[in-house]
Amino acid sequence: MKKGTLFIISAPSGAGKTSLVSEILERVTNIKASISHTTRKCRPGEMDGINYHFVDEPTFAGMVKKNAFLEYAEVFGNHYGTSQEWVQLTLEEGVDVILEIDWQGAEQVRQHFSKSISIFILPPSIQALEDRLNDRGQDNADVIQHRIAAAKEEMSHYADADYLVVNDDFELARYQLEAIIIAQRCHLDIMSAEPILSDLLS
């Protein structure tokens, strides 16, 4: 059985990464998004086990000691981690996996999965990013400015990715992201594991 592909999707806060991934999960078959563990408080509308696995700091620290995470990082004072076991088992089943993680986590994952595909999502401008963060209505002005500063630092790591998607027009960005995933499934390394090739060449 061919293994699934690990897609690493990174973006600064407010670039629209979560909305794009949600669309991909609706439109593309045989792909799942990893649900991260986090010490962040659950926001209104979020559900444990769907948006995140919400855990306290001692539980998270215990999982770190057990090497349960493929990657983990601290972001805005909260910890986030990706279950190593879930990712490996899902890929072994031939299902593609999406990881929504920051550049630090992406760097860690690439060390474990050299054949992973990295995609960086950029906003069309800093002003657009700030407008989106303000429109959310979730943070005060000081927090938003802190997020903007962090976004500038994060965007400086775009060159580590295999693909760039600029989320100016949402439908176009969604199409580009979907096209990257579909194209990867046609890559020779992936297709060589398909039974049809053995039948055709036998």
Residues 10 and 103 sit within 8 Å (Cβ to Cβ) = yes
pLDDT at residue 171, rounded to an integer = 96
User: Do the annotations mark residue 124 as ligand-binding?
Assistant: no
User: Do the annotations mark residue 11 as ligand-binding?
Assistant: yes
What's the mean per-residue pLDDT of the chain? 90
Range with the poorest average pLDDT among 81-85, 110-114, 123-127, 187-191: 187-191
pLDDT greater than 80 at residue 196: no
Which tens digits make up the pLDDT trace of 70-96?
A: 999 888 889 999 999 999 999 999 999
User: Do the annotations mark residue 65 as ligand-binding?
Assistant: no
Beta bridge partners of 5: none
Average pLDDT over residues 158-171: 94
pLDDT at residue 1, rounded to an integer = 65
The Cα 16–Cα 24 span in angstroms is 13
Reported confidence tier of residue 137, pLDDT bands at 50, 70, 90: low
Please state the separation of Cα 16 from the chain's center in Å. Answer: 12
User: Do the annotations mark residue 39 as ligand-binding?
Assistant: no
The Cα 158–Cα 9 span in angstroms is 11
The Cα 182–Cα 6 span in angstroms is 13
The Cα 95–Cα 119 span in angstroms is 18
Name the token pair of 40: 């962040």
User: Do the annotations mark residue 16 as ligand-binding?
Assistant: yes
The Cα 14–Cα 133 span in angstroms is 6
Strand 37-38 to 78-83 pairing = antiparallel
How far lies 193's CA from each of 32, 94, 185, in Å?
Answer: 21, 11, 11
pTM of structure: 0.84
All domains in the chain, ordered by first residue: 6-34+95-201 (3.40.50.300)
201 HSE (CA, 13 A, CB side) = 7
Average pLDDT over residues 143-150: 83
User: Do the annotations mark residue 38 as ligand-binding?
Assistant: no
pLDDT at residue 192, rounded to an integer = 74
